[in-house]
Amino acid sequence: MGDQTAIERDFFTDHELLRDPYGWLDQMRARGPVGRMDSRRDVVMVTGFAEAAAVLVDGATFSAVISAAGPTAPLPFTPAGADITAQIAENHHRFVGSESLLSYDGARHSASRMVLNRLFTPSRLKANEEYMHRLADRMATEAIARGTSETIGEIATPYVTLVIADLLGVPEEDREALFASVLTGPPPGSLDNADAGASLAPLARAMGGFFAGYITERRASPRGDVLTDLATATHPDGSLLSIEELIILAVFVFAAGQDTSAKLLGNAIRYLAENRDMQDHLRACPADIGDFIEEMLRLEGSSKVTHRLVAKDTELGGVALPAGTKLVASLAGANRDPARWDDPNAFVLHRPRIREHLAFGRGAHTCIGAPLARAEVRVMLERLLARTANFALSEAHHGPPGARRLDYEPSYIIRGLEKLYVEMQGA
């Protein structure tokens, strides 16, 4: 991206930025850690690490109300005054994606988090990890038998979908139909429909029927699974959550952990397929896979950005931000900020304090599925590495080194490959 006008590219619609968004982010950061985006958009982007972290931890100043809606759609009200907290609360329901906890602020958000925390108990995760092992081993064995595997469609996506279906307690016989419903619709942050925001409504329609049935059934005859915990969850005042609230929560958990985890797994497989030394190292020292994943999250995390609305007049990185300013917190930009990371664009295994990266966000909205995502990717990499002598990118599909053809999902939010063909040699 050497041309001087590159900075004027529109991050929300430009397909050229998909292959290497990082050079463009470096240019944005070079102008300051907090800066207005191109002249067409009334949006401020935060690319500095300290500044992005400061935004994410201060929910009173930076509202999450546009976290799902994104920053490109107009606000449903005209901001008035130095503090628009009350206006945001009054108009919350008018934002795209306002049904999901990603967009909640304050006490309402904490209450939903408490319900969801019941899903991710250590004993649940342990049982789920045993399922992951069996599934990952079977998928790796089948991929090796095929010789060449399209690892996004044949491994990553079905794997993460089946894992979360198992965690939630979705019956085996429904998993295929549920999987098909997940694949409908554009990705969040679609470049071809940037103003649409990430509404859960279509997905809730597609999947809601399943979950309504499970929840009604669990209320009538409780069992020891996650769906029973959800079905019997109560508000802080002791009242049961409505079926609609529960469907939205379950659908959101299902959706939030889909593309993100599958794409991170794809990004990690691509890196290893292209870096034989690291592949061999991890095959010999599987204990290092955890640190490998953290560095992949920093360098190639699957969520490039999230969004906040300035609720109270403030200043950040030397820039005045009046209430009503729409912010993009660039997780990918922060994770390569040279003020925080030495040699930020280099892959370094065992970087000091690597877990401080922002790939899962920070503060009250920090990804609740982070332990699950880490476990999913670790288990699949362990099985793939153990079952193979080597795997490499398919030149027939992606071209030779130096002239690779790799297509990324056309989304300004998600970072990940659409397809990834890998040639596998069994151990």
Q: Which stretch binds ligand HEM (CB under 6 A): 69-77, 318-326, 342-350, 358-366?
A: 358-366
Q: Which stretch binds ligand HEM (CB under 6 A): 33-41, 133-141, 238-246, 353-361?
A: 353-361
Of residues 90 through 119, those in contact with ligand HEM by CB under 6 A are: 101-102, 113, 116
- Residue 54 touches ligand HEM, criterion: CB under 6 A: no
- Residue 314 touches ligand HEM, criterion: CB under 6 A: no
- Residue 125 touches ligand HEM, criterion: CB under 6 A: no
- Residue 415 touches ligand HEM, criterion: CB under 6 A: no
Give the total of residues touching ligand HEM (CB under 6 A): 29
Residue bearing tokens 């990834």: 420
- Residue 367 touches ligand HEM, criterion: CB under 6 A: yes
Which residue from 98, 303, 325, 330 is in contact with ligand HEM, where contact means CB under 6 A?
Answer: 303
Of residues 330 through 349, those in contact with ligand HEM by CB under 6 A are: 331
Q: Which stretch binds ligand HEM (CB under 6 A): 83-91, 176-184, 355-363, 383-391?
A: 355-363
Of residues 256 through 275, those in contact with ligand HEM by CB under 6 A are: 256-257, 260-261, 264
Which residue from 61, 67, 181, 190 is in contact with ligand HEM, where contact means CB under 6 A?
Answer: 67
- Residue 128 touches ligand HEM, criterion: CB under 6 A: no
- Residue 164 touches ligand HEM, criterion: CB under 6 A: yes
Of residues 179 through 218, those in contact with ligand HEM by CB under 6 A are: none
Q: Which residues bind ligand HEM (CB under 6 A)?
A: 56, 64, 67, 101-102, 113, 116, 164, 252-253, 256-257, 260-261, 264, 301-303, 306, 331, 359-361, 365, 367-369, 372-373
